[in-house]
Structure 1
Amino acid sequence: MFDIGFTELLLVGLVALMVLGPERLPGAVRTTGLWVGRLKRSFSNIKAEVEREIGADEIRRQLHNERILDLEREMKQSIMPPTSTTSSSTATPPPTENTASETADSTDAAVTPSPSPEVPPAAPVAEPAPTPRPDRSPEP
């Protein structure tokens, strides 16, 4: 990343030895190592958090798109009934010799739309009763 070679590190070490002296150099190297470690950990934590957020945003976006598609399908189904029921209900038998009142009743029956079948809501799932633990007294 920074393209630092061995010779550059050796030069920095010699300058640090000359400036700090042999007594303070080990403590300075130790402190520098601790700070570099802390920076690496914090950068990796920030990177992981950003990736989690991006992943969470992507999941939210997918769920939102699925909800929109479901709503769109429901709207289409409510506007246009399924084709198999409409083709059979719109076909009327040829008129036979009936009285005028019977013909009017059959025409009215063909014009009124049949109610669309509704799907009953799913029954709630019962949770199993908690089992008491032998190492504890039962909870009140």
Structure 2
Amino acid sequence: MFDVSFSELMLIGVIALIVIGPERLPKVARTVGHLLGRAQRYVSEVKSDIQREIDLKEIGDIKNQMQDAARSVETSMQSSVSDLKAAVNEPTDSLRQALDEARTAVTPTAAPSTAPGDAAADDTARIPAPQAPEVPAAPVTDQAAETAPSSEKQA
């Protein structure tokens, strides 16, 4: 606090001894010591209170910075998610549209069904069953009769 050297303290002590006297000097020295101790504690408490207030202000500033950063990250994540959803939904929507167009082209009078069970029944009803190709019947010739076993010829 104060820059007081040892020689200055000795000079103050000698003057106090002369002015106060040897009987009251120990009592006055004790009182001055207590007052100086209280002053030092008061100064240290004020310093710690000021430091605490500074720390609280810094913590509040850091908290606000973190909240701002969290908000910016949240908005960027939401925009990324919406972009991804759009990227995924775009091909799906175009496929659905193409499928709907194909359905209307196959059966223009039938309305598309919304129930999942009905869609399968409608699809099978709309698509004609594949037909087996016709195979011409082979004519019966004498060769077939000739190659038959001899027991069949006799019968």
Please indicate, yes or no, whether the TM-score normalized by the shorter chain is above 0.5.
Answer: yes
Equivalent residue, structure 2, for 1:125: none
The structure whose RCO (Cα within 8 Å, separation 6+) is larger is 1
What displacement does 1:85 show?
Answer: 3.2
Query: Matches of residues 11-30 of structure 1 in structure 2 within 5 Å?
Result: 11-30=11-30
Give per-residue Cα distances to partners, 1:78-100, cap 9 Å, x unaligned.
Answer: 4x24244333333445x587347
| 1:31 has 2:31 as partner | yes
Q: CA RMSD in A?
A: 2.8
Partners in 1 of 2:17 and 2:60 — Cα distance?
Answer: 55
Structure exhibiting the larger radius of gyration computed from Cα positions: 2
Percent sequence identity over aligned pairs: 34
Structure 1: state its 5+ residue gaps: 102-140
Partners in 2 of 1:59 and 1:45 — Cα distance?
Answer: 21
Query: Which amino acid in the other structure matches residue 75 of structure 2?
Result: M
| 1:65 has 2:65 as partner | yes
Equivalent residue, structure 1, for 2:88: 88
Structure 2: state its 5+ residue gaps: 109-155
Query: Which amino acid in the other structure matches residue 22 of structure 2?
Result: P
Counting helix residues as a fraction of each chain, which structure ranks higher?
2
Give per-residue Cα distances to partners, 1:63-118, cap 9 Å, x unaligned.
Answer: 2222222223333344x24244333333445x5873479xxxxxxxxxxxxxxxxx
Q: Give the TM-score of the pair, scaled to structure 2.
A: 0.53
Q: Give the TM-score of the pair, scaled to structure 1.
A: 0.58
